[in-house]
Amino acid sequence: MDIKIAPSILSADFCNLERDLDRIANADLVHVDVMDHHFVPNLTIGEPVVKRICEVTKLPVDVHLMIDDPDRWAPGYAERGAHSVTFHMGATHAPVRLARQLHDMGCEAWFAVRPAEPVEPIFDILEEFDTILIMTVEPGFGGQKFLANQMGKVRRLRDEITRRGLATNIQVDGGVGVKTAPIVAEAGANILVAGSAVYGADDPAKAIDEIRDAARAAYRD
């Protein structure tokens, strides 16, 4: 698996989203955080904005739902052009049914684990998901400090994926930059979400390349 970088537009300028999408054209995905002020204490964007993002960028759009009741809302994002939809362990009522529904719609299904949640309960349904997201901050706000204590989860998950010969990706989200990218890549993550480290840089495209190179040098297959 190659390393993929998914800049989070949570750190972009929401008044100039199309411009800021153009600034990350060398990324592999664009990460879009959808928050409802219920599942997390923040409110961002919804389906109409995601639809326009999908229309104006050539990058695959990775929609991260930090919302209540994704069983109801996730298919709408697939309909609007999302490449992948991520939903949380603590929010869904029927994760397997939802994953299969998204796959039937031609959309990848990704499953997210918050810092206080164990990863092992996912092992029995791992084959249903294309990617598992390990949160390395508490979800809700950008710019938080990276939680290195989540690397044990990444390692255990990578070991399980390897043991079973699966092609499942591992994504990490939170506090990822040039310094932390080697840590998560060495643990076994291959999709890295980076927000402030990209959009806080003078040259976002250069920051993406530097994060990717740092991760590739340390990646544990």
Query: Tell me, what CATH number does 139's domain have?
Result: 3.20.20.70
The token duo for 102 is: 């998204």
Candidate list 20, 28, 36, 173, residue with the active-site label: 173
Nearest-angstrom CA–CA distance, 108 and 100? 9
End-to-end alpha carbon distance in the chain: 7
Which pLDDT does position 77 carry in this prediction?
97
Range of the domain at 11: 4-217
The binding site comprises 8, 31, 33, 64, 140-143, 173-175, 195-196
Q: How many domains does the chain have?
A: 1
Which pLDDT does position 144 carry in this prediction?
66
Which pLDDT does position 165 carry in this prediction?
96
71 catalytic? Reply is: no
Candidate list 20, 28, 33, 62, residue with the active-site label: 33
**DSSP strand E in the chain: where?**
4-7, 30-35, 61-66, 84-88, 108-113, 131-135, 169-173, 191-194
Which pLDDT does position 40 carry in this prediction?
78
Taking the CB of residue 42, how many other CB atoms lie within 10 A of it? 15
The binding site for substrate comprises 8, 64, 140-143, 173-175, 195-196
Burial class from Cβ neighbours inside 10 Å (0-12, 13-18, 19+) for residue 193 reads buried
173 catalytic? Reply is: yes
The binding site for a divalent metal cation comprises 31, 33, 64, 173
Q: Which amino acid is at 157?
A: L
- Running along the chain, 221 residues long, what does each successive block of 10 average in pLDDT? 94 95 98 88 89 97 95 97 94 95 98 94 96 87 78 97 97 94 97 96 98 93 69
Nearest-angstrom CA–CA distance, 10 and 6? 12
Give the CB-side neighbour count of residue 90, counting CA atoms within 13 A: 15
- The model's pTM is 0.94
